[in-house]
């Protein structure tokens, strides 16, 4: 079944031209023997029960998902803007870490290591909160919400925990990155 926002491409290899298989008078049976991954190269067993033959067919399966990619080379230290990014269908099996579907998730973040034109923007390529950068600290609990400024003490991506120092009190707390330059502390 294809993904909701992506594309599934399945391509069977050509059969050996020397094979002489009788036309099957009933629908073919297909199965995937063993414990094969459903991406990349897969071997499918096709059988014809009425004629008594079977053949293994190599099949190439590609799962393509929409991902944020670089529109140009992005050197280290670049602060990402909308013009640096686009969405492209990318084969899922080549992604090494968390990637993004929407450019707004990464606009304003900083490139930690160079990204080539056309490469997927991955979580380990950028920091939504970077060490020594100013951050907005949101603290909340039991109906009380406090917002203050602070400084990040380490790099991090969306959903990761980082240590931040409150600019006024100089107190160091742990918080979860909830956006570009934003850390939330629950108490």
* C-beta neighbour count of 93 within 10 angstroms: 11
Least confident among 42-56, 93-107, 166-180: 93-107
Question: pLDDT for 49-98, tens place per residue?
Answer: 999 899 999 999 888 889 999 999 999 999 999 999 999 998 877 667 78
Contact between 121 and 112 (Cβ < 8 Å): no
Against a cut of 0.95, is the pTM above it? no
Average pLDDT of the residues in 165-174: 93
Is the pLDDT assigned to residue 156 strictly greater than 90?
no
**For residue 7, what are the CA distances in angstroms to 11, 61, 65, 112?**
13, 11, 7, 30
Domains and CATH numbers, the chain: 7-62 (no CATH), 64-126 (3.90.1210.10), 134-186 (2.30.30.760)
> Mapped to the 3 state alphabet, what secondary structure does 40-108 carry?
EEEEEEEEECCCCEEEEEEEEEEEEEEEEEECCCECCCCECCHHHEEEEEEEHHHCCCCECCCHHHCCC
**Rounded Cα gap, residues 110 and 157, in angstroms:** 10
> How high does pLDDT run on average in the chain?
88
46 Cβ contact partners less than 8 Å away, ≥ 6 residues apart = 28, 29, 30, 54, 55, 56, 57
Average pLDDT of the residues in 130-155: 88
Is the pLDDT assigned to residue 158 strictly greater than 60?
yes
Average pLDDT of the residues in 151-170: 91
112 Cβ contact partners less than 8 Å away, ≥ 6 residues apart = 76, 124, 125, 126, 127, 130, 155
Is the pLDDT assigned to residue 159 strictly greater than 90?
no
């Amino acid at each position: 079944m294809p993904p909701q926002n992506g594309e599934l491409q399945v391509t069977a290899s050509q059969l050996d031209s020397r094979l002489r298989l009788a036309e099957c008078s009933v629908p073919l049976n297909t199965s995937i023997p063993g414990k094969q991954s459903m991406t990349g190269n897969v071997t499918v067993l096709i059988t014809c029960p009425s004629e008594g033959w079977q053949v293994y067919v190599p099949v190439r399966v590609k799962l393509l998902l929409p991902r944020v990619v670089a529109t140009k080379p992005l050197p280290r230290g670049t602060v990402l803007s909308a013009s640096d990014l686009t969405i492209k269908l990318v084969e899922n099996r080549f992604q090494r870490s968390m990637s993004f579907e929407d450019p707004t998730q990464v606009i304003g973040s900083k490139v930690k290591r160079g990204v080539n034109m056309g490469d997927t923007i991955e979580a380990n390529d950028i920091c939504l909160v970077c060490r020594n950068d100013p951050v907005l600290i949101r603290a909340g609990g039991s109906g009380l919400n406090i917002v203050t400024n602070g400084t990040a003490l380490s790099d991090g991506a969306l959903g990761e925990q980082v240590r931040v120092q409150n600019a006024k009190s100089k107190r160091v707390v742990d918080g979860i990155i909830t956006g570009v330059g934003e850390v939330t502390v629950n108490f």
